[in-house]
Structure formats: structure tokens, C-alpha cells
Homo-oligomer: A and B are copies of this chain.
Amino acid sequence: MTVTLTAKRTLTASAGGRLNLDNINPHVKAAKYAVRGELAVKAEEYRVKLAQGDKSLPFDSVIFANIGNPQQLDQKPISFFRQVLSLLENPSLLENPEALRTSFGYQQDVIDRAKTLLADVQSVGAYSHSQGAPIIRDSVAKFIEERDGFPANPQDLYLTGGASSGVSTLLNVICDGPSAGVLVPIPQYPLYTATLSLLNAQCVPYHLEEHRAWGTDVNAIRQNLAQAKAAGTDVRAIVVINPGNPTGASLSAEDIKGVLDLAAEEKLVVIADEVYQTNVFTGEFISFKKRLRQLQQEVPGKYDSVELASLHSVSKGMVGECGHRGGYFELVGFDPEVAAQVYKYVSIMLCPPVIGQCLVELMVNPPKEGEPSRAVYEKEYNGIRDGLRKRAFALYEAFQRMEGVECQEPQGAMYLFPTITLPPKAVEAAKAENRAADEFYCLRLLDATGVCVVPGSGFGQKENTLHFRTTFLAPGTDWVERIVKFHSEFMAKYK
């Protein structure tokens, strides 16, 4: 079907229409989003070629290590989640619970959960409350309370279509024009810079400390802040991604305190992107909310003015349900009148996908100890966790074997972000193609091996350094060896 239709002559090109590249919204034009850019498009073309039986490529599969998309890379969804969702999609299945049990192994807790959720949302085909279904926000509040040991209020929670739409909402409300600035870590997930571009607001970059496992250096942030202020930027917020994307770093309690101190002193809204909160290999995840509440108890008064927005998602962790577009953010310390504007803003888009909202509920309220689906849930969850860890370290060890490659030990998230030092001849060859050297390297890697990674320039990096980001989601380790082999040939070629 594809072939027939796409082969038809497209009538797209217009003769002298209204819009062209030079008169559309210049902020859309200015926005950059490398994760789905040229490399990703080329990788998809290779995938289609291979699927069509093309034998001309020097590899037999494309490895999409460019994007944290676990289920594209054969990560199996968690059975409990999908069993409940299947009942929500077709509630008439609930009319024959015996057949669900005997023919499909659905347990009673699956059936009960579906009934509970349906009683609240009525139908997953109905619009919900714009902030998200009440029962689901209740579950999220309970999850946050149990995670942090501090209360959470469902009224402060906003369910979203993935964390991305939450970030967009927050930045839309916070930024009031071209002088508004937001501190963004470098390297960063490019959603932040892209959204600030769209809003014509200022990205105020602060560099993470690669030599300290990509931690935050508050003194450096203070310098960037002072420079931005001196240049007339009204810096209003600071973004922290913890665990880090693309860095994989997991922040210490001390680093988090440093950011909150700064926020309290400088009146910065803290946007804590915590979508990788369960992807932690080293130490434990500490939420900004928990740390803030601790500090508010320890030093009464000092942190009362801090405004914090924390984001979470069903896309990452051991859930990995990117395609369902589910997530939430919690507002802490926001003026209720501002929160009302956030509500109005989200209501214009009506509501986040309801089935994604239900998945948020399942994520934050999985089967408990002793419940019938618990054993399988635990086995699947731990299997995914251990697999991620294993592949992260396999990749890390491969990088240690590669000349001119340095990588921090894996701590969390789904990524490694090694530094690469390339020979001058490679840098010249890149220049001749009018490309950044890391982009040149990543393109050659894709062409030679089918492994698609994202150049560091897509995330930002210190001047005169080169990196790339790779996920450690693809199954097996064969593809890691493809990188090792390519790298040694590349280095030999440009020596």
C-alpha cells in the first residue's frame, strides 16, 4: 500500500503561495531538535531499505541508539500494565472474567484495577478533567508521599501527554518575552532549548562538570546567572535534569541543595525533570521535592519562596511506554493565581490522552506485595532493570577499550555520553563537508555500521570538546562491537 501511494506524483509544491521559509514564524525556524534530525531520518531510510531486501548496505540491521525508545528495541511491556489497559479499551471483556483467567491468565487484581479506573473515567474515550482524572491524581499524590515522606496534594498535580508537553506548558507560562531567561544545563535534552527558541526567550546555559561525573557546580551557575543579568536578561527559572539526559548523572543531596539555595536566593523557579528517577544504578534517587521539604524543615523561612515544578513520565524507567504519552508535573509553592493560569492553558488542549493517564496510575501504583500479579510484575521489572545495567556497563567497558574515548561510569538514565578526541585530519575532513566533527563522526558511524547515535553538538558541549550520546537499550552486545571496530578503522584512516 505504501509503495503505490507514495509513488504517486505529489501535488505538494505550490506556485507562489503565501508561506515560505523566510516569512513563517522565525522562532519555529530557529528552533533546533537534533534527536529527530538528519541522522534519524537517514537511519530510518536505511531501515526501510533493509526491510525491502536491499543487500547493498554494509550492515544487516539499524540500531536506533539515538533515542530512548525502549519498546522499539524489543523491550517487552510490563504485563500487568497492558492487561489492565486491554480491559480499559474493551470493557466488555470484563463480562467474562472466568475466560480472562483461564484462557489469558488475567489475575483478579488486574480485573479489579480496570473496574476501579473505569468507575472514575467512565470511558477512556471521554475527555477527562483538564488536569487529569481525579482518581489518578490521587494515586500520584500517594506515590509522591510514599516516595518522599512529605504530603502531596492532587490539586497541585497536572497529568500531561508525556513530560515534553509538561515542559512546554511550564515554559509557556513562565516566559514573558524576549528578555526572559531560563538556566539550562549543558549538555541538555534539546527540548529545552527548542521550546525556549519557540517562545523567543533566552537560554542561559550552565555547564555540567564532566570531571565530577557531570554534577552541577553552583558557583559556575552563579557566574552564568550574573553574566546574563548584566546583559539584561530576566532569569526566571533553572532547569535540572536528574538523572541526567544526555549525561546519565545522578545528583547528590548536596548538589540538589546547591540548586535550591540558589533558587531561594535568586528567586528562580526550579524545573526538575525527573523522568529517569527509577533509572539509577549508583546511590539512590532524591527528588527535588523531598530535598526542598527537608530544607524547609531544617532552616525555617529560607526556602518558603521556592517554586518547584517536578516532572515525571511513563516513557522511561522500567515502564518504557513512550508511545502512550503519559506523564505528570507537580507544582510546589506556586501562587494559586498562577496555577489557575496553568490550568487554563492546559484546558485549551482539553486533556491529556486518557489511556496514558491510566498508565500513569498503574506506574505509580503497581501490584503490591502479596497481590496476585506481584510476582510476575517483580520478575519483569527486575529483568528490565538488570538488562539495562548490564548493557550500560558492557558499553562503558567497550568505550574504555577505544582510543581517544573517555566515559564517566554509568550512574543512571538510559544514556552514556562519552568524550571523543578525534585526529586533526578527521576534523579537517568534517570541515570540508561543512559539518561539526562529532556530527561527521556519527554520520560515518551510521553509514558504516547502521548504529545511530546523536552528536554532542545536538545537546551542547564545552567548546573544543566532542561527544556523542548513545542509549544502552538495544538488545545484545553485537552492536557495541560494531562501534568498537568502526572506531578503530576511523582512527586509523585519519591518523
**Residues of A near any B CB (own CB < 8 A):** 1-2, 5-6, 8, 10-21, 23-26, 28-29, 31, 33, 35-37, 44, 67, 69-72, 77, 79, 82-83, 85-93, 96, 99, 103-104, 121-130, 134-135, 138-139, 141-142, 151-156, 161-162, 164-165, 168, 172-177, 191, 194-195, 198-199, 236-237, 267-269, 304-307, 320-325, 331-339, 341, 344-345, 347-356
Q: How far is the CB of A307 from chain B (nearest CB, A)?
A: 4
Which B residues are in CB contact (< 8 Å) with A142?
1, 5
Interchain CB contact under 8 A, A353 and B355: yes
Interchain CB contact under 8 A, A11 and B355: no
Q: Identify the interface centre among A90, A93, A347: most chain B CB within 10 Å of its CB.
A: A90
Contact of A17 among B156, B168, B305 (CB under 8 A): B305
How many subunits of this chain does the assembly comprise? 2
**Sampled A-B contacts (6; CB under 8 Å):** A16-B304, A86-B86, A126-B322, A161-B325, A324-B353, A325-B353
Which B residues are in CB contact (< 8 Å) with A13?
335-336
Which residue on chain B has the smallest CB distance to residue A14?
Answer: B333
Interchain CB contact under 8 A, A129 and B44: yes
Interchain CB contact under 8 A, B172 and A305: no
Which residue on chain B has the smallest CB distance to residue A87?
Answer: B86
Which residue on chain B has the smallest CB distance to residue A337?
Answer: B21
Interchain CB contact under 8 A, B17 and A333: yes
A354 to B143, CA, bound (A): 26
Q: How far is the CB of A52 from chain B (nearest CB, A)?
A: 13
Which B residues are in CB contact (< 8 Å) with A335?
13-14, 17, 19-21
Contact of A71 among B18, B86, B122 (CB under 8 A): B122
Interchain CB contact under 8 A, B2 and A135: yes
Given contacts A153-B10, A349-B164, A355-B323, contact A123 B19 (CB under 8 A): no
The 3 A-B pairs with the shortest beta carbon distances in the complex, nearest first, are A99-B103, A323-B354, A86-B90
Contact of A104 among B79, B99, B172, B331 (CB under 8 A): B99
Which B residues are in CB contact (< 8 Å) with A332?
11-12
Q: How far is the CB of A244 from chain B (nearest CB, A)?
A: 19
Interchain CB contact under 8 A, B344 and A17: no
Interchain CB contact under 8 A, A151 and B8: yes
Interchain CB contact under 8 A, A124 and B324: yes
Interchain CB contact under 8 A, B323 and A10: no
Q: How far is the CB of A256 from chain B (nearest CB, A)?
A: 18
Interchain CB contact under 8 A, A8 and B153: yes
Which residue on chain B has the smallest CB distance to residue A346?
Answer: B36
Q: How far is the CB of A270 from chain B (nearest CB, A)?
A: 10
Interchain CB contact under 8 A, B99 and A90: no
- Other A-B pairs, 20, CB within 8 Å; known A24-B173, A198-B348, A325-B354: A1-B139, A2-B134, A6-B153, A8-B151, A12-B156, A17-B267, A17-B269, A18-B269, A20-B337, A28-B173, A28-B341, A37-B344, A70-B126, A82-B89, A123-B323, A194-B348, A323-B354, A325-B350, A325-B352, A355-B355
A88 to B85, CA, bound (A): 10
Which residue on chain B has the smallest CB distance to residue A145?
Answer: B5
